[in-house]
């Protein structure tokens, strides 16, 4: 079962990456120019009516919430979108309530309903059943990030991840907290690589902010999170990064955490793309409009400095075609690998 899990992860990463690169490389420059012109015409022909409902399938304070509020703040302040955004956090049902709300939107509401959507959201959506990518229209992918493990800096029993591993080998039970989907997936990859599955246990929290609260309260030994949701706690000295689940070390203030490869476990990572989808009922004109909006957002200095650099993310904007190819390829890989 665990070997099968790793094959699922590998398939998702490889197929999704190739899908995006392949669709970009296969388009000649002339085709790209015509496509851009067509998108511009569609964008100019559409404008949202009323408020924009931007849903997040997790609680406020987490990486998805920060991502969404960064987009809406820039789009509003820069005048890219004149309508007002209303950000709603609906984490019930592992995010399925938020997804169903967007999926069921029709008419003008469908054109003004957006959903924050990541690699983890896709995995969660499929595992919860009832919804697939056929219920939605991919709009854009904007950024990507990776994971870290943290200890409580003030009262942890462990000063490093190496001490954690030694304790587990000695029979200690290590409790790790984190969200479901991508954080749980990369955790499974790690403990399988260590061969210490029986000595680690995982507690699922509804958001990264809940994980941080549990870590600060001493309810878990280690907390899983991404840079965006943990940076303030690292800077305040409340938590310490002890492991980077990345092929390279993160920049400050996370640079003290060694990578899994440095510790001799090989490269263990599960990059998470962050994007936006809409209902299958959203018009093609609206999809083009919103993709153009997000493209403009990713080109601003505020996005590059206040979001990407501040949260140590990678700029990963994709147009509608590449976003669709990436999300559908990831879905196919997950379904096929799961049998």
Q: What six digits make up the tokens of 189?
A: 């990859």
Query: Pairing mode, if any, of strands 85-89 and 52-56?
Result: parallel
Number of neighbours of residue 273 by Cβ within 10 angstroms: 25
Within 8 A by CB and 6+ apart from 141, the residues are: 20, 273, 274, 275, 316, 317, 318, 322, 323, 326, 327
Instruction: Look up residue 157 and give its two tokens.
Output: 């029993």
- Name which of 251, 43, 240 is nearest 145 in CA terms: 251
Q: What CA–CA distance (Å, rounded) separates 5 from 2? A: 5
In this structure, the number of other CB atoms found within 10 A of the CB of residue 266 comes to 9
| pLDDT tens string 153-173 | 999 999 999 999 999 999 999
In this structure, how many other beta carbons lie within 10 angstroms of the beta carbon of residue 296? 15
CA dist 151 and 159 (Å) reads 8
The confidence band for 76, taking pLDDT boundaries of 50, 70 and 90, is: very high
Torsion-angle region of 266 (φ positive above 0: left; ψ -120 to 50: alpha; else: beta): left
Q: How far apart are CA 102 and CA 211, in angstroms?
A: 27
What sign results for the dihedral spanned by CA atoms 52, 57, 59, 63?
A: negative
Say if CB 80 and CB 242 are below 8 A apart. Answer: no
* Global model pTM greater than 0.75: no
Please name which of 264, 265, 212, 268 lies closest in space to residue 241, comparing C-alpha atoms: 212
- Over residues 313-339, the mean pLDDT reads 86
Q: Give Cα separations from 241 to 24, 144, 255 (angstroms).
A: 36, 19, 8
Most confident of 133-137, 267-271, 310-314: 133-137
Closest CA to 57 of 147, 150, 156, 125: 125
Q: Quick check: 18 pLDDT over 50? A: no
DSSP state at residue 197: G
pLDDT in tens, 284-300: 999 999 999 999 999 99
**What local confidence, expressed as pLDDT, does residue 35 receive?**
47
DSSP codes, 49-100: -S-EEEEESS-TTSHHHHHHHHHHHHHHHTTS--SPEEEEE--GGGGHHHHH
In this prediction, residue 173 carries a pLDDT of 98
Per-residue CA distances from 61 to 6, 189, 255 (Å): 30, 26, 23
């Amino acid at each position: 079962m665990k070997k099968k899990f790793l094959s699922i992860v590998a398939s998702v990463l490889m197929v999704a990456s190739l899908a995006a690169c392949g669709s970009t490389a296969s388009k000649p420059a002339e085709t790209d120019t015509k496509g851009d012109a067509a998108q511009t015409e569609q964008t100019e022909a559409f404008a949202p009516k009323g408020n924009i409902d931007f849903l997040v399938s997790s609680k406020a304070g987490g990486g998805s919430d920060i991502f969404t509020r960064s987009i809406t703040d820039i789009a509003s302040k820069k005048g890219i979108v004149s309508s007002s955004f209303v950000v709603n956090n609906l984490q019930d049902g592992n995010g399925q309530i938020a997804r169903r709300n967007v999926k069921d939107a029709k008419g003008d509401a469908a054109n003004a309903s957006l959903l924050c959507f990541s690699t983890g959201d896709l995995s969660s959506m499929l595992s919860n059943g009832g919804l697939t990518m056929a219920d939605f229209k991919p709009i854009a992918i904007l950024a990507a990030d990776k994971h870290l493990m943290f200890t409580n800096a003030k009262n942890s029993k462990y000063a490093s991840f190496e001490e954690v591993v030694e304790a587990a080998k000695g029979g200690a039970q290590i409790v790790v907290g984190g969200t479901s989907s991508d954080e749980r997936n990369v955790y499974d990859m790690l403990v399988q690589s260590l061969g210490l599955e029986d000595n680690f246990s995982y507690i699922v929290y509804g958001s990264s902010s809940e994980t941080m609260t549990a870590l600060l309260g001493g309810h878990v030994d280690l907390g899983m999170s991404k840079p965006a949701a943990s940076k303030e706690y690292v800077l305040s000295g409340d938590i310490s990064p002890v492991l980077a689940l990345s092929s390279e070390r993160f920049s400050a203030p996370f640079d003290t955490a060694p990578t899994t490869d440095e510790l001799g476990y090989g490269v263990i990572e599960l990059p998470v793309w962050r994007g936006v989808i809409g209902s299958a009922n959203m018009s093609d004109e609206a999809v083009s409009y919103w993709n153009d909006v997000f493209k403009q957002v990713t080109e601003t200095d505020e996005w590059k400095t206040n979001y990407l650099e501040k949260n140590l993310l990678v700029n990963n904007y994709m147009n509608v075609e590449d976003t669709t190819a990436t999300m559908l390829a990831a879905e196919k890989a997950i379904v096929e690998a799961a049998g």
